[in-house]
Chains A and B, each alone.
Chain A
Amino acid sequence: MKRREFMLAAGAVAGSTMLPRLAFAEAGRIDWYTASDSNILDFWTNTVKPAFEAANQGITLNLVDAGDGSGLTAIAERAIAAMDTNTDPQADMFESHDPLVPAGAVEAGLWVNVREAGLSNVDKVNPAAWQTDYSLPYRGSQVLLAYDTTKLSPADAPKNWDDLVAWIKANPGQFIYNRPDKGGSGGNFVRRAIHQANGLDPAAFTLDNYTDEFAQEALGKAWDILADIAPSLYDNGAYTSGNTQSIQLLAQGVVTMTPVWSDQVLQAMNEGVLPEDTGLVQLQDLALVGGFSAMTFLSNGVNKDVALQLGDFMLSEEMQTAILTEIGGFPGVSWDYVSPELRERFADIVPTSIPTFPGGPWGEAINDGWYRNVAPNVPRDS
């Protein structure tokens, strides 16, 4: 093909993709969106989709990567607008989403109340996982401390917060956690400090008891704790910009210990990024915060009913087992509904309790407060 012809053809193709397209949701095609990492999308593509489509003839899954949380928020906002005009939102469910975002979505009736939707497996869900009635928890993971066993013997690994702080101060430059908004491992380390500063009681924080004054007071105490250890962190108070970068520094032997997500560290060890003898330890006085990913369903989605059926399917033993074995996540259902053999196999990483921390306005207060009070390494008395 001559160059000019090629350019013409390429231009025509590029132009045609820009033409406005009319799209309608198809009956029997679940429009599913996620903001999770690619390991989750892979899991849905390779495991969930074939299994669900085989079990439900005529139903297909349209798996779409919305990029990040703000991508989902935009689609949710569009769906609220579609409610007002009674049009098709072209979205049926989100893989993992906080129903409080965007503000007013719950009040507008955007999300299906999953507790009242009559799902057969809904009672199996781990009671600790419920945050609201508008999202259905189906997988979880928890933050642990991973450490280099060549530099720290398992016998000396800190088992509670005070020991951890003492260890960090005794070994300056050997600990790093990531910025709380850039990945949950650092984010939940910060939340553990908030628990520490407020009497080790996860129940003290709920979605409904947020007020600016309470947050100021409760979080302020945690900023003191974190600012206190900052000079002893890697590079006198540097923070990585994500979960992966923390693992990278641990793998390069730069730091000795870092908080990690349970599923990511297992994957890193499987892939050889981290050595197999990487030590994992959980604090015994109060575990680091974990999180459950919860699906939300759009009440005006064309395929709402099949989407809910899919949600129910995710809580089945088959899928919950796959979550454990394929992605190293915790089941969203209570442990009683997991086969004894698996319970045995994952006994080490599986916590007896998973402290959680509410999202919504709390997340925003933490993200803003940490950057202002901890990250700049400012002395608090100034």
Chain B
Amino acid sequence: MSAAGGAVQAQPEPLDESETRRRPYGLLLVAAPVLLVGWLVIWPIVSAVIRTLWQPADDGGYEFTLETYVFFFSDRYSLDNLTVTLWTTGMCALFLLVICLPISLYLRFSVGRLPAYVQSLAIFPMFVPSIILAYAFIRVLGPNGMVDILLNAVGLPKIRTPYLTPWGPVIGLVWDNIPLTVLILLSGLGNVSNQAIEAARDVGARWLQVLWYIILPRIGNSILVALSFSVLGIFSSFTLPYVLGPAAPEMMGPFMQRTFRDVNDPQMAITQAVITFGFCIVFGLFYVRSVARNRGK
């Protein structure tokens, strides 16, 4: 970032000056997690890519082939599933931003008892297992559920229930992801100093201007991190789309599981997994980039 250029002189100095002593300890500390990540994450990915690209040939050997990928990208049904997954993820990201940003702004800039209660309410979904959420959803928003009963009591027509439609998983996933998003945005809002806002107010900035020119530029990174975190989880989510969503098109999570287990086609399931991973890596790069940018400051 060019704006940070002037601050380069203020680089933090390492606490321990002697390079030789510092290096092995640092490496040792990260060795275990790095090895675990390599073993449980990186290696399965590499092996999945290899397994889908080098498949057993008719002559008993292995040959390079793109067959399963060609099938996926030429198969209407698979593509519909990918589309609905992208749509769900996009919708969830949008709703999360629209819902969580006001909540975190409120929590950051208000004092007293009430915000504490609002915060615990916003964090609450974190402690509800998604399978329980799914069944509660059916009872409340499902057909003849609580909402219908309440509406009926005051003489209003029933709602068009989102249960078993693509909106079902969207509502469930948004609710499930509110805590994480709020927490990350809140920590980002901690960077916005009260003085900056007061100064802006003093020169006559309105609420919207303060938000646009003072707050948003400061928390842009946090928004990116929060969204890429939730998006990564949502893209590969399983329980909520499985229980609440329609039979078809289905999201990649249930689709992969079904292909693997019920259609008994591991090769295709791995291909779907690699494609899913390809999309997730893009979201992941956003996250890594913003962290790296933060570090560079």
Report B-chain residues with C-beta under 8 Å of the C-beta of A249: 142-143
Evaluate contact between A376 and B262: CB separation under 8 angstroms: no
Evaluate contact between B142 and A252: CB separation under 8 angstroms: yes
Report A-chain residues with C-beta under 8 Å of the C-beta of B250: 371
Evaluate contact between B138 and A101: CB separation under 8 angstroms: no
A367 in contact with B143 given A241-B243, A376-B80 (CB within 8 Å)? no
A376 in contact with B248 given A235-B164, A238-B164, A245-B138 (CB within 8 Å)? yes
| Residue from A234, A248, A376 within 8 A of B138 (CB atoms) | A248
A245 in contact with B243 given A254-B144, A376-B248 (CB within 8 Å)? yes
Rounded to whole angstroms, the CA-CA distance of A234 and B163 in the bound complex is: 11
Rounded to whole angstroms, the CA-CA distance of A181 and B246 in the bound complex is: 14
Rounded to whole angstroms, the CA-CA distance of A41 and B262 in the bound complex is: 22
Evaluate contact between A68 and B77: CB separation under 8 angstroms: no
Rounded to whole angstroms, the CA-CA distance of A376 and B250 in the bound complex is: 10
Most buried by A among B164, B245, B247: B247
Evaluate contact between A367 and B262: CB separation under 8 angstroms: yes
| Residue from A239, A252, A253, A371 within 8 A of B164 (CB atoms) | A239
- Is A372 part of the contact surface with B, judged by Cβ < 8 Å? yes
Number of interface residues of B (CB under 8 A): 24
Rounded to whole angstroms, the CA-CA distance of A132 and B142 in the bound complex is: 43
- Is B116 part of the contact surface with A, judged by Cβ < 8 Å? no
Evaluate contact between A240 and B262: CB separation under 8 angstroms: no
Evaluate contact between B263 and A239: CB separation under 8 angstroms: no
Rounded to whole angstroms, the CA-CA distance of A259 and B248 in the bound complex is: 20
Rounded to whole angstroms, the CA-CA distance of A368 and B138 in the bound complex is: 27
Evaluate contact between A364 and B143: CB separation under 8 angstroms: no
- Is A281 part of the contact surface with B, judged by Cβ < 8 Å? no
Rounded to whole angstroms, the CA-CA distance of A214 and B252 in the bound complex is: 30
Rounded to whole angstroms, the CA-CA distance of A3 and B184 in the bound complex is: 25
Report A-chain residues with C-beta under 8 Å of the C-beta of B264: 101, 364
Evaluate contact between A371 and B258: CB separation under 8 angstroms: yes
Report B-chain residues with C-beta under 8 Å of the C-beta of A235: 164-165
- Is B284 part of the contact surface with A, judged by Cβ < 8 Å? no
Rounded to whole angstroms, the CA-CA distance of A241 and B246 in the bound complex is: 8
- Is A69 part of the contact surface with B, judged by Cβ < 8 Å? yes
Report B-chain residues with C-beta under 8 Å of the C-beta of A69: 261
- Is A220 part of the contact surface with B, judged by Cβ < 8 Å? no
Evaluate contact between B249 and A376: CB separation under 8 angstroms: yes
- Is A70 part of the contact surface with B, judged by Cβ < 8 Å? yes
- Is A304 part of the contact surface with B, judged by Cβ < 8 Å? no
* Beta-carbon nearest neighbor of B261 in chain A: A70
Residue interface mask B138-166, A partner, CB < 8 A = 1: 10001111000000000000000000110
- Is B198 part of the contact surface with A, judged by Cβ < 8 Å? no
A49 to B: closest C-beta gap in Å:
28
* Beta-carbon nearest neighbor of B249 in chain A: A376
Report B-chain residues with C-beta under 8 Å of the C-beta of A375: 246-248
- Is A363 part of the contact surface with B, judged by Cβ < 8 Å? yes
- Is B260 part of the contact surface with A, judged by Cβ < 8 Å? yes
Report A-chain residues with C-beta under 8 Å of the C-beta of B242: 241
Rounded to whole angstroms, the CA-CA distance of A10 and B180 in the bound complex is: 25
A114 to B: closest C-beta gap in Å:
24
- Is A179 part of the contact surface with B, judged by Cβ < 8 Å? yes
Report B-chain residues with C-beta under 8 Å of the C-beta of A252: 142-145
Chain B 112-148 interface residues, beta-carbon cutoff 8 Å to A? 138, 142-145
Evaluate contact between A240 and B77: CB separation under 8 angstroms: no
Report A-chain residues with C-beta under 8 Å of the C-beta of B164: 235, 238-240
A202 to B: closest C-beta gap in Å:
22
Report A-chain residues with C-beta under 8 Å of the C-beta of B249: 376
- Is B265 part of the contact surface with A, judged by Cβ < 8 Å? yes
Chain A 326-382 interface residues, beta-carbon cutoff 8 Å to B? 363-364, 367-368, 371-372, 375-377
* Beta-carbon nearest neighbor of B142 in chain A: A252
Rounded to whole angstroms, the CA-CA distance of A200 and B247 in the bound complex is: 27
Most buried by A among B138, B145, B263: B263
Rounded to whole angstroms, the CA-CA distance of A312 and B198 in the bound complex is: 82
Report A-chain residues with C-beta under 8 Å of the C-beta of B265: 364, 368
Residue interface mask A248-284, B partner, CB < 8 A = 1: 1100111000000000000000000000000000000
Evaluate contact between A364 and B248: CB separation under 8 angstroms: no
Report A-chain residues with C-beta under 8 Å of the C-beta of B261: 68-70
Evaluate contact between A179 and B77: CB separation under 8 angstroms: no
* Beta-carbon nearest neighbor of B241 in chain A: A241
Rounded to whole angstroms, the CA-CA distance of A235 and B167 in the bound complex is: 14
| Residue from A70, A238, A240 within 8 A of B260 (CB atoms) | A70
Chain B 223-277 interface residues, beta-carbon cutoff 8 Å to A? 242-243, 245-250, 258, 260-265
Rounded to whole angstroms, the CA-CA distance of A254 and B158 in the bound complex is: 12
A160 to B: closest C-beta gap in Å:
26
Most buried by B among A181, A241, A252: A241
* Beta-carbon nearest neighbor of B255 in chain A: A371
Report A-chain residues with C-beta under 8 Å of the C-beta of B263: 364, 367-368
Report A-chain residues with C-beta under 8 Å of the C-beta of B258: 181, 367, 371
Evaluate contact between A239 and B262: CB separation under 8 angstroms: no
Evaluate contact between A238 and B138: CB separation under 8 angstroms: no
- Residues of chain A whose beta carbon lies under 8 Å from any beta carbon of chain B: 68-70, 101, 179, 181, 234-235, 238-242, 245, 248-249, 252-254, 363-364, 367-368, 371-372, 375-377
- 11 residue pairs A–B, Cβ–Cβ below 8 Å: A179-B247, A181-B258, A238-B246, A241-B243, A245-B243, A249-B142, A252-B144, A254-B144, A367-B258, A372-B77, A376-B248
- Residues of chain B whose beta carbon lies under 8 Å from any beta carbon of chain A: 77, 80, 138, 142-145, 164-165, 242-243, 245-250, 258, 260-265
Ranked nearest first, the 5 interchain pairs of A and B with the lowest CB-CB distance are A375-B248, A181-B262, A375-B247, A238-B164, A254-B143
